[in-house]
Structure 1
Amino acid sequence: MYKLAAAFALLASPALATGLEVEIEGEGANGTVSIDLFDDIAPKHVEQIAALANEGKYDGVVFHRVIDGFMAQTGDVEHGRLGGDMRRAGTGGSDRADLPAEFSDFEFDRGVVGMARAQDPNSANSQFFIMFEPGPYLNGKYTVVGQVTDGMDVVDAIKRGEGQNGAIIGQPDVMKKVTVTE
């Protein structure tokens, strides 16, 4: 009975965003990435990402942590703006509340988009990452919010960072414009 009621509640709820178009430019990547958002798997996270994108908060935000063979991280709308103090990039979030984890059985494969967080599983806010390669060690420990459906070649070209933490040296690649798609 509960599953049936939950299904009807999902059908009756307002439609959430179905995707993002991310225009990326920089020394490494130049092009557009299309992402399908999984509002059925992580509705609160998708709602937050879509709201931030609609408000233009992701426009001009850099990829501050990029680890070859692992992932590219972006979305620090507080400290991650192009032209800002890049030493602080990755330490901030948005003016919205952190979100409770929405873990699922969806696997972290190549092109999967996940929410970045601190040690606390309920600390995801605005930052997200795109997987270069499968990361099964993340499965069930981070919230999956979407999947790249076009432009993975652009993701693959994002300027890599250096060292164990993937910190960008010099000019990072940037999300020039992020648009919510229906």
Structure 2
Amino acid sequence: MIRLKTLAAALLLAAGFLFTSAPQSQAANLENMLYLDLEYGRVVIELKPDLAPKHVARIKELARQGFYDGIVFHRVIEGFMAQTGDPTGTGTGGTGKKLPAEFTPTPFQRGTVGMARSQNPDSGDSQFFICFKPAAFLNGQYTVWGQVVEGMEFVDQIKRGEPPANPDKIIKMTVAADAEKKS
């Protein structure tokens, strides 16, 4: 009987720990999630600060400024990726703030979000892409900073072209923690 009471007390203590720590871990998780709203639906991107802390910080900063709201997908290649983040819509623009490369061996899979760049590895700025399929030739060559965890079916619907004739736009891009505070 004493063992049963001890076990019950341990379970209650563990349950109390789980319930008291859940809001903190949920808040931390929401701080590292993005909501990318498209006309087709919401895409949820898990940020990877462990892989690319400078890129994640910059993407969150730009999202919080509303930088991405209304920006078009200017380069969308069937079987490869959808690229956005250029305020001019031409593929040549950005914010002017270049980031040093944060390359890792993390593979580019379906839904991987990477930073676009020029020939210079340290030229990432505001443009990024989402892979439709695995793209092993990018591995170790581009910075991985996120992964689509929900809504990839909406990414699949983005109109193709370089540039698309009638490009899709980001309606709104929000850090999930900020969106949850408002609701």
TM-score (norm 1): 0.79
Q: Which residue of 2 aligns with 1:153?
A: 153
| Aligned mates of 1:127, 1:54 — CA distance in 2 | 16
Structure 2 stretches lacking a partner, 5+ long: 1-27, 178-183
**C-alpha RMSD of matched pairs (Å):** 1.3
Q: Which residue of 1 aligns with 2:94?
A: 93
State the 1:94 CA deviation: 1.1
Q: Does 1:50 align with 2:60?
A: yes
State the 1:167 CA deviation: 2.1
1:39 alignment partner, one of 29, 34, 49: 49
TM-score (norm 2): 0.79
| Aligned mates of 2:116, 2:85 — CA distance in 1 | 9
Instruction: Give a deviation string over 1:27-60, Cα, whole Å, max 9, x none.
Output: xxx1110000001100000000000000000000
2:33 alignment partner, one of 1, 13, 19: 19
Q: Which residue of 2 aligns with 1:10?
A: none
Structure 1 stretches lacking a partner, 5+ long: 1-14, 81-88
Q: Which residue of 1 aligns with 2:9?
A: none
What is the number of residues matched between the two proteins?
149
Q: Which residue of 2 aligns with 1:113?
A: 113
Instruction: Give a deviation string over 1:92-114, Cα, whole Å, max 9, x none.
Output: 0114x200000001100100000
| Aligned mates of 1:76, 1:168 — CA distance in 2 | 14
Q: Which residue of 1 aligns with 2:139?
A: 139
| Aligned mates of 1:127, 1:108 — CA distance in 2 | 17
Bigger helix fraction: 2
3-state SS of paired residue (1:33): strand
Q: Does 1:62 align with 2:67?
A: no
Larger radius of gyration: 2
The letter for the 1-side match of 2:66 is G
